[in-house]
Amino acid sequence: MPSALVQILAIVLFIGGLILVHELGHFLVAKALGVKVLRFSIGFGPRAFGFKRGETEYWLAVLPLGGYVRMAGDGSEDPAKIPPEDRGRGYLDQAPWKRLAISVAGPAMNLVFPLLVFLALAVAENGSLVPGPYVGTVLPGTAAAAAGLRSGDRILSIASPRAAPRPVRWWADLREVVADHPEIPLVVRVQRDGVELPPITVTPAAEVDRNPLETSRRGVLGVSAGYTPALVAPAHPGAAGPLAPFDLVVAAGGRPVKHLGDLEKALAATPCQPVDLEVLRDSAVPLPGATLSTPRAEKLAAVPTCDAGGKPTFLPADPLLSTFVAAVEPGSPAAQVGLRRGDAIAAVNGKAVRSYRDINARSAEFLPRPAEGGRDPEPPSVRLDLADGRTVTLLPTIERYKDELTREDRRRYVLGFQPDRHHRGTDALLVEQVPLARSPREMVADAWEKLAYVVRITFTGIVKLVTGQLSFKAVGGPIMLFSMAAEAAEEGLSSFLVQMAAISVNLALMNLVPIPVLDGGNIVQALLEAITRRPISARARMVAQGVGVALLVTLMLLVFKNDILRLMG
């Protein structure tokens, strides 16, 4: 099927499905409470397709940007023309609690739908292969390294204070417990080379997660379920003979190498002996206006593995394990002080660093984002101590860029050097994969947790928009929604459903905002009548609806403006 047709179908299913879910809630509850439903419409405007069954018309309208359920007695009919048998069946004729139930039903269905989506995805995931409970990489300087965890260790169980040990069946079990206990000692049972070790106590570090909507703390050990690529660099220039910085080892001593774990085993078989290596080396390909690189296979004979003092002549160069500089931007502060490819950073402003995780943390301390507006502030200098004994001082420059979401101007400090960018997401790097097998109770709990997370994030976003803490330029309209639907469809059914679930929650909470003509406005009116025990006058209701329509039209114009600005870049 052509891509364009798939995207069109995806957009129709995405928008139409969410509207159907919402309006179906109102429709079903209204029918159940005896209210006469005149029309059930997906979309606004004239009818494109429809039929009548019983007393209700079912429409597909020409403008698929919403939908509605039109009920009898909504105030738009002449009371004298209402048939005697339909009197008392109108929406406004109902008791406040019934109108409250009808109004709540739409948003409620928009919350039930994502819960069912997350549950269905959890069921579908059962039996799929997931990372097993084996440690692949231990990041230097982290809690895991301090506790003595090693690559290849199998995690049997983990226990938090005053809680029973939780068996670790797959990697997610470990991650969930650790994330919930920052800076709290955990007891870990570990099996190494088939032998269970005495229990290990490890205290996860607290890591701050920031996004435009919230800031949270989570625990991290500094381990991953996979090895890093066998990317290496000489400990210092010329130490490893013909080996060059960022060579990717694919064979050592005649043995194939898939990742760093394989390389370590091959080197351990003949410690400190020269070894024949096969590597992939990036080779620059100059093009008009750009430079690309392509990997070239090289065979390196008798590469020394130890120097005269018994220290390794080459080291892992992956940014998770090292601080080797892979690229220096021409004309940048890093280039001006002579930083070059293959240099290793030992400290930033006097604080030791062991990986790019450390470098990023130190940079965040010394280089906060420059304030927006006014004159550019004097940037703070950054001193780098290099592994070869050199010390350089960089004066960062300020780079201007466009925020991808809001298209607003932003500024950030730039030093001008980068780590390696090799792809690391292949299953070949995992120590082990095991089939996922969760109980029905676990799957329901997982679906509920995901729904609660999306609700919390969406509610926080709405509050920050209302209070001005989040730019309204971050809000998108129908064009952005169409784009999201098309992109999600290209990524697969799972991504498509997750995106639908997220927008469904958004639709539910936005409809609960107490604006007349939205469900939230109807809910407030019903509550007021229930409290005062008096109906709201027809004039007050008309004025409120006029204000609500004006607000919605203004909102639609603003989000269309945002969409158009994004399209224009």
Q: Annotated catalytic sites, by residue?
A: 23
* Residue 50 contacts residue 67 (beta carbons within 8 Å): no
* Residue 372 contacts residue 366 (beta carbons within 8 Å): no
Reported residue count of the chain is 569
Query: What six digits make up the tokens of 437?
Result: 């097998």
CB atoms within 10 A of CB 26: 28
DSSP assignment, residue 452? Answer: H
List of residues 6+ apart from 511 with CB closer than 8 A = 22, 106, 107, 110, 518, 519, 520
Q: How far apart are the first and last CA of the chain?
A: 30
Angle, CA of 36, 42 and 48, to the nearest 5°: 105
* Residue 353 contacts residue 345 (beta carbons within 8 Å): yes
CA dist., res. 263 & res. 231, Å (int): 10
* Cα separation values, 522 from 368, 515, 540, Å: 46, 8, 13
* Residue 165 contacts residue 187 (beta carbons within 8 Å): yes
CA dist., res. 484 & res. 474, Å (int): 14
CA dist., res. 64 & res. 140, Å (int): 54
* Strand 275-287 relative to strand 247-252, pairing: antiparallel
CA dihedral 257, 259, 263, 265 (to 10 degrees): -100
Angle, CA of 206, 211 and 217, to the nearest 5°: 15
CA dist., res. 386 & res. 392, Å (int): 8
Burial label, 440 (beta-carbon count in 10 A; 0-12, 13-18, 19+): exposed
Type of residue found at 70: R
- Does the CA dihedral 73-77-79-84 come out positive or negative? negative
* Residue 421 contacts residue 326 (beta carbons within 8 Å): yes
Give 392-401's long-range contacts (Cβ < 8 A, gap of 24+).
392/337, 392/338, 392/339, 393/337, 394/333, 394/334, 394/336, 394/337, 395/333, 396/333, 396/367, 397/332, 397/333, 398/370
* Residue 504 contacts residue 455 (beta carbons within 8 Å): no
* Residue 325 contacts residue 344 (beta carbons within 8 Å): yes
- Identify how many contiguous H helices and E strands the chain contains and give both numbers: 12, 27
DSSP string for 87-111: TT-SSTTS-HHHHHHHHHHHHHHHH
* Residue 212 contacts residue 298 (beta carbons within 8 Å): no
